[in-house]
Structure 1
Amino acid sequence: MSMTLAASVETPSRFRLIAAVSIGNALEYFDLTLFTFFAVTIGKLVFPTQAPGTQILLSLGIYGTGYCARPIGGLVIGAYGDRRGRKAAVNLTLVLMALGTAMIGLTPTYEQAGLLAPFVVLAGRLLQGFSAGGETGASTTLLAESAPANERGFFASWQSASQGLAVMLGAGVVWLLSVSLSPEIMTSWGWRIPFLCGIGIVPVGLYLRRAVEETLEPATARATAPHNPVGDVVRLHWSSVLWALLGMLGANASYVILNLYMPTYGVRELGLSPASTSAAAMVGGACMLLFSPIGGVLTDRFGRKTFLVLSRVLVIVLTYPAFLLLTAAPSTAGLLLIIAVMSAIQGLGSGFFIALTENFPKNVRVTGFSSVYALGVMLSGGFGQLIVTWLIEVTGSKLAPAFYVIAIGAASLIGILNLNYRTGREETGA
C-alpha cells in the first residue's frame, strides 16, 4: 500500500483494518491465557499419578515446550511473508493456531488414553507455537505498513492492545465458568469450553481479512526479496537482531509473569480463589487494551525510545515492591490493583512493536521481526512460568518471580538503547 493510499484510509476502514489484522494475535493470547488458568487442571488430567507440585511443573513444561517451535515458525512463516506477502502469512497462522487450540480442547485424559494424553497436549502446543512464531511479525508488519508514516506507532500498538483484549476475554470466560459450574464439572469438562470457543474466531478473522490490502506489492516483492531472507537477516542485520532480541527478552518476561502467570500465582501462592484471580486478570487486560493505543500515540508524537525506556524502568523499579506487598498481605484487592498498574505501564510501552518493525528494512522485515520475537519469547517467556514456579519450590521465597523480571528487564535496557530507530521513514533496501 502506498503512502498516499494509507493516508486516505477513513475511520470505518481503519477500524476494520486494525480489527482484521489483530484478531490472529488476539486468538494466540486468548489461548495462552486459558492454558495458564487451567495449568493446574491440565496437570491433574494428564499427569494424575504425579504429586500436585510435579503436576503443575509438568503442565507448565508442556506449555513452555510450545515456545520452542516459535523460532522455527518465525523463520519459516517470516520468509513466506517476505516472499508471498504479509496477508498470506497471517491467514496461514490463523488456521494453524485454531488447529492447535482444538487439539488441546479435545485432548483425552490420562485415564482415557494413557501416555497419549500428554502427547496430544504437547502436539497442540507445538503447533500453536509454530503458528505464533510467524503471526505477530507478519500481522504487526501489515499493520505498520498500512498506516500513514505519522501513525505507525498507533497502528502497531494494537498488537499489544489485542493481547490485553485477549487476556480480558479469556479471564472473563474463566470467571463466568468458575461462578457457574462446580469445581468437579470444571475439572471434568468445563475447562474445555473456552478452548473450543476460541476456534470460532477463525471464520470471523478470515472474513474480516478479505478486505485487507496486501502491503507488499508483487512487483516489489520480486525485485527486492532476497533468495534467502534468513541468511540476509543474519549476515547483514546481525546487530539489529542482537539489540532487538535483548529488548524483546525484557518485554516478554514482564508480560508473561505479571499478566499470564499472576492468576496461577494468586491461587497457588496467595491462596486466593480462581474467580478472584481471573477478575484481576480481566482488569489487567482492560488496562492493556486502554493504555496500549495511548502509548502508540505518544510514541508517534515524542519518539519511540523515550517511552520504551520509561516503561521498562518503571516495571523494573515497581516489580519488587509489588510482590512484597502481595506476599505480606494477600488480598484480591491488592492483586487487582497491582495487575492494573503494571498492565497500564506495559501498555504505555507498546511502542516496542513499531520499534521492532522499523528495526529491519522492508525486504526482510517479517523474517527479522518474527525470528527476533519468536526467539525472545521462547528464551524469556516460554519457560518463564516453569522457572519461577521451580524457583519458588527450591528457594521457598514467593518473591522469586520479582527477581526474574527485574534481572531480565535490566539487561533488556541495553537492547532498547541500541535499537535501530527508523521512526517515520520507510526503508525498502537491504
Structure 2
Amino acid sequence: MSDIPSSVATRPLRATGSVLRNRVAGCIGHAIEWFDFSIYANFAIFFGPQLFPATDQRSALLAAFGVYAIGFVMRPAGGWLLGAIADRHGRRTALAISVTLMALGSLLLAVLPPYAAIGLAAPVVATLARLLQGLSVGGEFAAACSFLAETAPPNQRGFHGSFLFFGTGLGLIAASGIAWLLTTVLTHAQMAAFGWRIPFLIGALGGLFGYWLRTRVEETEAFRRTAGRRTARKGSVRVLFTQYAKPTWTLVGTSVLGAFAFYLFIVYVPVYAIHRSGAAPATAYAASTLSLIVFTAVQPLFGRLSDRFGRRPQLIVMAAAYTLFLYPVVLSVGDTFWSIAWVELFGIVLYALYTAIAPALMAELFGAEIRSLGIGLPFNLVVAVLGGTTPYLMTWLQGRQQENLFLLYVCAGSAVSLLTYILMKETRGIALDAQEPRA
C-alpha cells in the first residue's frame, strides 16, 4: 500500500482540473462574446434595410456599418472601466460583467422592431445595443488576457494564452457557420424578414451560460497577491501613462496590424467578395468558415512555438508578409469558393501568428496591479480608431472604385508594426511578478 496520503496524491489531479476549468472558462466565454459581436457584421447585409432608413441597399449597408463603427467608440471605455474593475476587484468579476453586457446587446437586437414599425427608435436602439457590446468586448479582452496569463505555468504562457483566440475562433466559426446555414436554407426575403434575428437570440441565450461558467472559476493568485495594495495605484490611468509609458507605447505599436488584419480578413472579406466579385453569399460564408477552422486549429501550435522560440520571430514574419503581399492578394479575390478561401487563408493564418501569442505578450508587458487596464485601454484605442472604421471605409471606397487606397493604408500600418516588432525586447520567460513600474 502506498504511504502517500490521499490528499497529497490528489493534488496534481486538482491542479490539472483547475487549469482545465480556467482554460474552458476563458475559451468558451470568449467564444460566446465573439459569436455575439461578429454576427452583426455577418448579417448587416440583411437587417440594414430593416433597421435603418435608406434609399438603396448600399446606403443601408453603410448605415449599418456606421453603427458598427460607433460601437467601437465604447471599446476604449470598456478597456478602461472593466480593466480598472479587473485590477481592483478581480479578473473573474470583470469577465462575468462583460459576458452579461454582450448578451443584453444581442437580446435587444433580436427583438428590435423594424424602422417601418417604430421609426427612428429602431436605429437608436440598434446603436445602444452596439454600444453595450463595444463596452463588453473592450473589457473582455483585457480581463481574459490577464486571467489566462496569470493562471498559466511560466514557461507555457504562449500555449495557454493561445486558447483566448481559440475561443474567438470557435465563436467566429459558429457565427460564420450560422450565416452559411441560414443563407442556404432560407431565401433572401426570409433572411431579411426574420432570419437575421435567429443568431442574435442564440447569442443572448449563450450569454447566460457564459455568466454561469465564469462565476465558478477561482480568482488568480497574481490578483490575490495585489489585493491589499493601495487602490489609488491599481487601475490608475495616470500610473499607466507615466510609470508604464514604454510598455504602453510598445503595445500600441504591436496592435496596429492586428487591428487591421482582424476586420479586413475575418469580418469584411466575405461581404467584399459578395459586392465586388458577385459571389453568392453561401459561397462566401462557406469559404470564411473553412478559413476560420484553420485559424482556430493553429492557435495552440503557434502558442507552443512561441514558448520555445520567442514572441518576436512570429510577429516579424507576419508583419513582413503583410507589408509585401497584402495588396495583390486581397485584390485577387473572386466569386468562387477557392478564390475567396485563398485570400482568407493568407490573411488569417498570418494573423494567427499574432493572436496565438497576444495574450501572453501583452500580459508580460505590465505588472499585476495595472495589467488589465494596461492591456485594455491602449489596445482598444488602437482597435477603435483603426479596426472599427475598416468595414465602413472599405464599403465607401469600393463605391468610388478606390478600394486599393485602403489596402495601401493597411500596408503602411503593417510597416509600423514591423518596425515595432524589430525594436521591441523579447518577453518570453519574463517573470510576471518581477514587473515593476517603469519611467
1:269 corresponding residue in structure 2: 276
**Distance in 1 between residues matched to 2:199 and 2:258, nearest whole Å:** 27
Match of 2:313?
306
Q: TM-score, normalised by structure 1?
A: 0.93
Report the counterpart of residue 4 of structure 2 in structure 1. none
Partner of 1:3: none
1:75 aligns with 2:71: no
The answer on 1:232 being equivalent to 2:243 is no
Trace 1:86-101 onto structure 2 (pairs within 5 A): 86-101=91-106
More displaced stretch, 6-15 vs 333-342: 6-15
1:221 aligns with 2:227: yes
| C-alpha contact (below 8 Å) 2:29/2:214 kept by paired residues | no
**Segment drifting more, 306-315 vs 73-82:** 306-315
How far did 1:146 drift? 0.2
% of aligned pairs identical? Answer: 30
Give the match for residue 250 of structure 1. Answer: 257
Cα deviation for residue 24 of structure 1 reads 3.1
Partners of 1:428 and 1:411 lie apart in 2 by 26
Once superposed, which parts of structure 1, at least 4 consecutive aligned residues long, lie more than 6 Å away? 6-9
3-state DSSP class of the match of 1:21?
A: helix
Residue 83 and residue 8 in structure 1: after superposition, are their counterparts in 2 closer, same or farther (change >3 A)?
Answer: farther
Tell me how far apart the structure 2 counterparts of residues 23 and 113 of structure 1 sit (CA, whole Å): 36
What is the Cα deviation at residue 428 of structure 1?
A: 5.0
What is the Cα deviation at residue 220 of structure 1?
Answer: 2.4
Any idea what SS the aligned residue of 2:73 has? helix
Aligned to 1:222, the other structure's residue is in SS state coil
For the Cα contact (< 8 Å) 1:163–1:285, is it kept in 2?
no
Q: State the 1:208 CA deviation.
A: 2.6
- Whole-Å separation in 2 of the counterparts to 1:204 and 1:139: 17
**How big is each residue's C-alpha offset from its partner over 1:28-73, in whole Å with a ceiling of 9 and x where there is no partner?**
3212321111122222112243332222111101001000011111
Aligned equivalent of 1:384, options 390, 402, 405 = 390
AA aligned to 1:316 is: T
User: 1:135 matched to which residue of 2?
Assistant: 140
For the aligned residues, what is the CA RMSD? Answer: 2.1
How far apart, CA to CA, are the structure 2 residues paired with 1:8 and 1:140?
25
Q: 1:334 aligns with which of 336, 339, 342?
A: 339
Indicate the SS of the match to 1:223: coil
Cα distance in 2, alignment partners of residues 375 and 336 from structure 1: 30
From the CA coordinates, give the structure whose radius of gyration is larger. 2
Report SS of the residue matched to 1:359: coil
Q: Is the 8 A contact 1:319 1:406 kept in 2?
A: yes
- The 10-residue stretch of structure 1 (334-343 or 382-391) with the greater mean CA deviation from structure 2: 334-343
Give the letter aligned to residue 364 of structure 1. I
- When residues 75 and 398 of structure 1 are mapped into structure 2, their CA distance, relative to the original with a 3 A threshold, is closer
- 5+ long unaligned stretches in structure 1: 1-5
Spell out, residue by residue over 1:135-160, the C-alpha distance to the aligned partner (whole angstroms, 9 max, x if none). Answer: 00101110010000011011111122
Select between 41-50 and 302-311 the one with higher mean Cα deviation: 41-50
- Of 156, 160, 163, the residue aligned with 1:158 is 163
Aligned to 2:3: none
Whether 1:60 and 2:65 are equivalent positions in the alignment is: yes
Does residue 414 of structure 2 align to residue 409 of structure 1?
A: yes
Q: Which amino acid aligns with 2:311?
A: R
Letter in 1 for 2:414: G
Of the three residues 356, 362, 368, the one matched with 2:368 is 362
- Maintained 8 Å contact 2:252/2:378: yes
TM-score, with structure 2 as normaliser = 0.91
Deviations 1:262-291 (A, max 9, x none): 111111111111111111111121111111
Secondary structure in structure 1 of the residue aligned to 2:113: coil
Structure 2: which 5+ runs fail to align?
Answer: 1-10
